[in-house]
Chains A and B, each alone.
Chain A
Amino acid sequence: MAKTHVTTTINGEPVEFLCDTRQTLLDVLRDELGLTGSKEGCGSGDCGACSVMVDGRLVCACLVLGVEAEGADVETIEGMADGDKLDPLQQKFLENAALQCGICTPGILIAAKALLVKNPDPSETEVRYWLAGNLCRCTGYDKIIRSVLEVAADAKGA
């Protein structure tokens, strides 16, 4: 099958790739572009480990086709830090031990950042429901939720 040419923007950089029309955006990111920070935990949109932003919208990259990235603005975990300057969420997760194995962490960070853009001062319940689509089997979520709330509080105080 002939491959489709796609022109897109990933983490602010113009990117072109060829993909099979059946390939998901997650497959393209991981297998074609070498951006393996987005993880596949289920392939069915249930676990959120592949969470990325497409045109400012939080999506599971496993439920988006690669060809749908045409002309879009894609943001992944690889673009979250500014060089060696971590995003406040990344820093807080480290300080609070909010990750154990770390496989869900990229997706949770992307989802949490999307929440704080939309709602800079969420309640605990709002954080819990927003992140309900991101499964973590290690932490029991406690330190994740606290970290997101603390980053929001820090930003408010700043």
Chain B
Amino acid sequence: MAADGGNGYRWIGKRTIRPDGVDKVTGRANFGADFALPDMLVGRVVRSPHPHARIVSIDTSKAEALAGVKAIVTAADFPEITPEKATFGSSPPNYRDMSRNLMARGKVLYDGHVLAAVAATDNAVANAAIGLIAVEYETLPHVTDVVAAMQPDAPLLHDDIFTAGADPTPTKPSNVAKKVAFTLGDIAAGFAEADVIVEREYRTEGIHQAYIEPHAVVASAGADGQVTIWCSSQGHFMVRQYCAGLLGINIADIRVTAAEIGGGFGGKTTVYLEPVAVALSRKAGRPVKMVMSRDEVFRGTGPTSGAAISVRIGAKRDGRIIAASAELKLMAGAFPGAPLQPACMCAFTPYDIPNVEITGYDVVVNRPKTTAYRAPGAPISAYGVESALDDLARKLDIEPLALRERNAARQGTRTAYGPTLGVVGFEETLQAAREHPHFKSPLGPNQGRGIASGFWFNVGGESSSNVHVNEDGTITITSGSPDIGGSRASLVIMAAEVLGIDVERVRAVIADTASVGFNRHTGGSRVTFATGMTVVQAAEDIVKELRKRAALTWDIDVEAVVWEDGEARPAGDNAGKFEPLALRDIAAQTPKTGGPIGARRSIMAQNPGAAFATHICDVEVDRETGQVKILRYTAVQDAGRAIHPGYVEGQIQGGVVQGIGWALNEEYIYGADGRLQNAGFLDYRIPVASDLPMIEAVIVEVPNPSHPYGVRGVGEVPIVPPMAAVANAIRDAVGLRMTELPMSPPKVLAALDSGA
């Protein structure tokens, strides 16, 4: 199972030192907040304390009069984007919503909604200035709960939302922005055939990505309208595109440099500060730096949806699942756009079920607009589905893992959302879980074991890279994909593999938007797959060129030259007798053989290869306190091919632990006043080292046929199974079916006390 060694490759599967590593352990790496320019101003924003209010007036006169204040902006300083111009281009964001989210116009829609910004000579002046901006509000009734927001008499956030996808389209506006439905087979007939049916409702709370690095930007607008931006983001091309769309600037007039990014997990796939900093810089005529506080990160960015879920599954006595339905109500936050589609797509895909019906609702509430979070939506539906499967296994008296084996999806299985699955490794993860010593290890009193699986479709998309042969035969890769978890390591490994040279002779940089072709943001577990493919293809182009140069040097046909072990060799005795030419030899001679050697590739990567995972979790429940302790955790995942197993394991371990946090502790807590009560790391408790055991990552490799080395994205699927794995372990330990996340001590204790 181990990926390194014995796989026939020189570098693929080896645990090399990442090229950006030393900078990160010595403090030299520059993250978003580490950048500075001469004469730079400090930008701060004013945030609404109300969850829902009409903005009657904003008086900035006192702030403007304060010495050191250089610019103030409100929505009036941004182009108003009409509904007709809300979307343009392919796969568009809604610029109208985005504009109103980063600077409230007319109404504030959540506690933390930005409605003005200041640029001043230093932090103290900027803070004083935002305190001097007088805002008159007319407060409105609010709603922060998804089910309450769907009621006919609920406070209305927007008067122009008429449920899309509902038939007929409603004539009255509501908070339900969208309804989606997926069906396969005949759901009624399926349930009629079932011998056993389980049905239950579940709730999850909104949670935050909780990257440790707050959002940060420096923007500098020139007098000619050209703009330069340095920021921490998962996609600097996205920042460029969104700033252009929001501010009405030509894309060619914006250049964005990606700082090192201190975590994102999907949360840095939109803009908050960047357009505001540009607007302030334009007005002040000086560079502006903006950095969020942790309180602002929680109140104004992220989170992912809280949800109300119902799941119904029917099976034959022999354990064959014959029908499954789910209804998912997801909080979108203040503007439409919960991860509804993927939540529905991923719900039942691990299983071959003939009759499926999934209905989902995208519901606006007075909370921050949700942003992607690691496999967006999938963990929410999987929590319900994988909990229900555990109930079903008990009812059928079948081992939970055996129930999954009996119904596992494989190549050719039709998904509820349309396509059939290609080459996938779900059954291999189930088998590896069954064979793992963890699966058979003994448990003590109040201890239990839970099994859960998960699916994520993964994403391909636009990637561009340049690969250059330097004068000494070393290689520079110019990538446009922000490296969020070690992807530069996998890019240099793949290039070194193709070129047959030492990995230390290959370096990768993340270039600015003017220096490399377009790249879709880092997300969807796509970088090692899609950007990796551009590097492999460009390196292959270089090998072709190197053979050509050798052929020229030897005056033989290029077909008579092969590239092996990092050098050009005659293809055989017939080709002639020549001393091999190493990459460095050819590089040194390029002025005489046709000039510099380099290649660039821009692709639309297809068939990313779906990812599946199966997790085993052991817990112990403290009956006196309700605390759940994770005793042991094993996560099996099909990685396709692990280019750098250390960073694949890291993705798995990190995803699992985020899932454990989601399962046990993390939640957005809103008071009756609609204000967020736990906007800090003390009260929003992410897992700490002492909460956890080691997390064993088991890599299964079922190569993805669409990638030259078989890569599948690995970053997201590990967060899909943990909530149900923990819930099922609690059920096994103390007989309680926990139907609400987080399964925090007060909730577990209450459930124990009520004997549920």
Please report A residues at the B interface, Cβ cutoff 8 Å.
Answer: 20, 22, 30, 35-44, 46-47, 49, 76-78, 80-81, 86, 90, 93-97, 99-106, 109, 125, 127-129, 131-146
Question: Are the CB atoms of A146 and B212 closer together than 8 Å?
Answer: no
Do residues A128 and B689 form an inter-chain contact, with CB atoms below 8 A? yes
- Note all chain B residues with C-beta closer than 8 A to A76: 27
B105 → chain A closest CB, angstroms: 30
Q: A86-B22, A103-B263 are in contact. Are A78 and B27 (CB under 8 A)?
A: yes
A39 touches B213 (CB 8 A): yes
Interface residues of B in 23-42 (CB under 8 A from A): 24-31, 33-34
B25 and A90 form a contact (CB under 8 A): yes
**Given contacts A97-B649, A102-B262, are A39 and B680 in contact (CB under 8 A)?**
no
In this assembly, does B454 line the interface, its C-beta being within 8 Å of a C-beta of chain A? no
CB pair B695 A77 closer than 8 Å:
no
- Do A137 and B689 touch across chains, with their CB atoms under 8 A apart? no
Q: A90-B25, A140-B656, A145-B694 are in contact. Are A101 and B263 (CB under 8 A)?
A: yes
Contacts of A109 in B (CB 8 A): 25
- Asked whether B182 is an interface residue with its Cβ less than 8 Å from the other chain, the reply is no
Q: A residues within 8 A CB of B24?
A: 99, 102, 105
Q: Would B18 and A47 count as touching, CB distance under 8 A? A: no
Q: Are B124 and A140 within 8 A (Cβ)?
A: no
The verdict on B486 contacting chain A, using a C-beta distance below 8 Å, is yes
Residue from A20, A99, A133 in contact with B25 in the complex, judged by beta carbons closer than 8 Å: A99
B253 CB to nearest chain A CB (Å):
29
Provide 15 A-B residue pairs closer than 8 Å at the C-beta atoms, listed in order of the A residue: A22-B124, A36-B34, A39-B33, A96-B646, A100-B486, A102-B24, A103-B263, A104-B212, A105-B25, A131-B690, A132-B689, A139-B654, A140-B658, A141-B689, A141-B692
CB nearest neighbor in A for B216:
A40
User: Who on chain B is nearest to A87 by CB?
Assistant: B25
B484 within 8 Å of A (CB atoms) = yes
Is the CB–CB distance between B15 and A46 below 8 Å?
Answer: no
Interface residue? B386 (CB, 8 A)? no
Binary per-residue interface labels of chain B (483-512) against chain A in the complex, 1 for a CB within 8 Å, 0 otherwise = 011100000000000000000000000000
B695/A142 in contact, CB under 8 A: yes
Given contacts A99-B25, A101-B264, 6 further A-B contacts (CB under 8 A): A41-B212, A47-B294, A99-B24, A103-B260, A132-B691, A141-B657
Q: Is B532's CB within 8 Å of the partner chain A?
A: no
Instruction: Give the distance to chain B from A118, nearest Cβ to Cβ, in Å.
Output: 17
Q: CA of A141 to CA of B484 in the docked complex: distance in angstroms? A: 17
Query: Pick the contact of A137 from B33, B486, B654, B656 — CB < 8 Å?
Result: B654
Residue among B25, B124, B694 with the highest chain A CB neighbour number at 10 A = B25
Please give, as numbers and ranges, the residues of chain B lying within 8 Å of A134 by CB-CB distance.
689
CB neighbours (8 Å) of B655 from chain A are 140
Do B21 and A94 have beta carbons less than 8 Å apart? Answer: yes
B binding-site residues for A, Cβ under 8 Å: 15, 17-18, 20-22, 24-31, 33-34, 124, 209-214, 260-265, 291, 293-294, 484-486, 644, 646-647, 649-651, 653-658, 680-682, 686-692, 694-695
Instruction: Please give, as numbers and ranges, the residues of chain A lying within 8 Å of B484 by CB-CB distance.
Output: 100-101
Residue contact B27 to A37, C-beta cutoff 8 Å: yes
Q: Compute how far the CA of A35 lies from the CA of B30 in the bound complex, rounded to whole angstroms.
A: 11
**Taking CB as reference atom, which chain B residue is nearest A94?**
B21
Q: Which of A35, A142, A146 has the largest count of B CB atoms less than 10 A from its CB?
A: A142
Q: For the complex, give the distance between the alpha carbons of A80 and B225 in Å.
A: 44
Q: Given the complex of chains A and B, what is the CA–CA distance between A78 and B485 in angstroms?
A: 22
Contact present for B212 and A100 (CB under 8 Å): no
Q: In the bound complex, what is the Cα–Cα distance between A141 and B691 (angstroms)? A: 10
- Give Cα A49 to B692, complex, Å: 20
Of B27, B213, B657, the contact of A38 (CB 8 Å cutoff): B27
A28 CB to closest chain B CB (Å) equals: 13
Q: Which 8 A-B pairs have the closest CB atoms?
A: A37-B27, A103-B262, A97-B646, A102-B24, A140-B657, A140-B653, A46-B681, A77-B27
* A77 B686 Cβ-Cβ under 8 A: no
Q: How far does the alpha carbon of A41 sit from the alpha carbon of B212 in the complex, in Å?
A: 5
With A and B bound together, what is the CA distance between A136 and B689 in angstroms? 8
Is B695 in contact with A101, judged by CB distance below 8 angstroms? no
| B residues near A90, Cβ cutoff 8 Å | 22, 25-26
B682-A44 in contact (CB<8A): yes
A94: B residues at CB distance < 8 A: 17-18, 21-22, 25
Given contacts A77-B27, A97-B646, contact A144 B689 (CB under 8 A): yes
Counting chain B CB atoms within 10 Å of each CB, which of A35, A106, A125 scores highest? A106
Q: Are B211 and A101 neighbours in the complex by a CB distance under 8 Å?
A: yes
Q: Kindly report which residue of chain A lies nearest to residue B483, judged by CB atoms.
A: A101
- Are B650 and A139 in contact, CB atoms less than 8 angstroms apart? yes
With CB as the reference atom, state the residue of chain B lying closest to A76: B27
Which of B20, B31, B261 is close to A39, meaning CB atoms less than 8 Å apart? B31
Q: Is the CB of B22 within 8 A of A97?
A: no
Whether the Cβ atoms of B681 and A100 lie closer than 8 Å is: no
Contact status A101-B262, CB under 8 Å: yes
A95 to B25, CA, bound (A): 11
Name which residue of chain B comes closest to A20, CB basis: B124
Complex contact B653–A139 (CB within 8 A): yes
CA distance A46 to B22 in the complex (A): 26
B212 in complex: contacting residue of A22, A39, A129, A140, CB < 8 Å: A39
A141 vs B650: C-alpha distance in the bound complex, in angstroms?
9
Pair A44/B26 contact, Cβ less than 8 Å: no
B20 to chain A: which residues have CB within 8 Å?
102
Interface centre among B30, B291, B681 (most CB of A within 10 A): B681
Smallest beta-carbon distance A35→chain B, Å = 7
**Distance of A102 Cα from B263 Cα, bound (Å):** 8
Assembled-state Cα–Cα distance A102/B654 (Å)? 13
Which residue of A43, A129, A137 contacts B265 across the interface (Cβ within 8 Å)? A137
A18–B260 CA distance with the chains assembled, in angstroms: 30
Q: Are B689 and A100 touching (Cβ within 8 A)?
A: no
On chain A, the residues within 8 Å of B209 by CB distance are 137
Give the distance in Å from the alpha carbon of A106 to the alpha carbon of B30 in the complex.
12
Minimum distance in angstroms from B364 CB to a CB of chain A? 28
User: Which A residue's beta carbon lies closest to that of B29?
Assistant: A102
A100 and B265 alpha carbons, distance in the complex (Å)? 12
Query: B294 to chain A: which residues have CB within 8 Å?
Result: 41-44, 46-47
**Which residues does chain B contribute within 8 Å of A146, judged by CB atoms?**
694
A129 to B689, CA, bound (A): 7
- Report the minimal beta-carbon distance from A101 to chain B, rounded to whole angstroms: 5
- Known contacts A132-B689, A138-B263; is A43 also within 8 Å of B212 by CB? no
A104 to B650, CA, bound (A): 15
Find the A residue at minimum CB distance from B661. A137
Query: Are the CB atoms of A44 and B212 closer together than 8 Å?
Result: no
**Contact present for A137 and B27 (CB under 8 Å):** no
Residues on A with C-beta less than 8 A from B654 are: 100, 137-140
Which residue, of A35, A46, A132, has the highest number of chain B Cβ atoms within 10 A?
A46
Closest CB in chain B relative to A94 CB, distance in Å? 4
Given A41-B294, A42-B681, A44-B681, answer yes or no on A35-B27 (Cβ-Cβ < 8 Å): yes
Most chain B beta carbons < 10 A, residue from A39, A80, A86: A39
Are A36's CB and B681's CB within 8 A?
Answer: no
**Distance of B30 from chain A, by nearest CB (Å):** 7
Bound Cα distance A47, B295 (Å)? 13
Q: How far is the CB of A67 from chain B (nearest CB, A)?
A: 16
Q: Give A58 Cβ to nearest chain B Cβ, in Å.
A: 15
- Residues on B with C-beta less than 8 A from A96 are 646
Contacts of A132 in B (CB 8 A): 688-691
- Complex-state Cα separation, A100 to B261, whole angstroms: 10
**Contact across chains for B485 and A135 when beta carbons are under 8 A apart:** no
